[in-house]
Amino acid sequence: MNHRLPKLPSESTYRVEDHQIPVEGGEVTIRCLTPTPAGAPKDQTFPLFFWAHGGGWVTCNLDLDDFLLRRVCVELQISVVNIDCRLAPQYRWPTGLNDCYDGLKWVASHPEVLSASLKKGFIIGGQSAGANYTAAMALRARDDPFFEGRRITGQLLQAVHVIHAEAYPDKYKDQLLSMEQNKNMPVLDRSSLDDFYSTSAPVQAIDPLTIFARA
């Protein structure tokens, strides 16, 4: 059987640039991926997609989704930003979220770095813990005057976590069956999930920017 394995696009079809951007207490890296289609005018612009990686708030970096995002950049002809936010336990809540939000604002202020036009689309996304950050950023941006005239136009939330078990109203807690039923599942079991909670942010159960049912 002839299997076709996924591969990276040709290096001639996109540009990769890493930038250090200022955040509270330091700097973080963002990786910018920009389409470079053959024959395109130099002033061509693309929609913008801002991405936050997963890892339970405590692990992984921007290399986690690098392969996929390079393909997204070329196949969808969209400028992509991938942020390497700081992680718990060294940096506690809400440092990682604040890093992502500072990165989002930096990108919104410098779309020319990515040959991007926010008017063509300004989408934010993430996976797992990164999707949690994404949903929180959308709430912040909704109420932030900074984003007047450059509103987020869409979200992509992959395997998103939006409510801590302890944040459920008491009358619904007896319906929370999945965490017990899947407590010994491979990859992410109940013990690992509890470790992520306790290591990253014990206050998450009451923070409306993490547990959106309370927002």
**Residue 142's domain is classified under what CATH number?**
3.40.50.1820
Looking at the DSSP bridge assignments, the partners of residue 124 are 50, 155
Residue 146 lies in a domain: yes
Q: Which residue ranges of the chain lie beneath pLDDT 50?
A: 205, 213-215
Residue 214 lies in a domain: no
What pLDDT, on a 0 to 100 scale, did the predictor assign at position 202? 53
What pLDDT, on a 0 to 100 scale, did the predictor assign at position 210? 61
What pLDDT, on a 0 to 100 scale, did the predictor assign at position 191? 86
Distances (CA, A) of 15 to 9, 113, 206: 11, 11, 42
What pLDDT, on a 0 to 100 scale, did the predictor assign at position 140? 94
Looking at the DSSP bridge assignments, the partners of residue 14 are 35
Question: Which range of residues forms the domain containing residue 72?
Answer: 11-163
| Residue appearing with tokens 């409510």 | 163
| Residue appearing with tokens 């640039």 | 17
The alpha carbon dihedral of 131, 152, 120, 100 has a sign of negative
Phi, psi torsion values for 211, nearest 5 degrees: -110, 95
Residue 25 lies in a domain: yes
What pLDDT, on a 0 to 100 scale, did the predictor assign at position 120? 98
Residue 72 lies in a domain: yes
Structure tokens at 160: 């998103």
Residue 105 lies in a domain: yes
What pLDDT, on a 0 to 100 scale, did the predictor assign at position 170? 85
What pLDDT, on a 0 to 100 scale, did the predictor assign at position 206? 55
Q: Is 45 left (phi over 0), alpha (psi -120 to 50) or beta?
A: beta
* Number of domains, the chain: 1
What pLDDT, on a 0 to 100 scale, did the predictor assign at position 167? 73
Residue 187 lies in a domain: no
What pLDDT, on a 0 to 100 scale, did the predictor assign at position 195? 82
What pLDDT, on a 0 to 100 scale, did the predictor assign at position 209? 63
Residue 4 lies in a domain: no
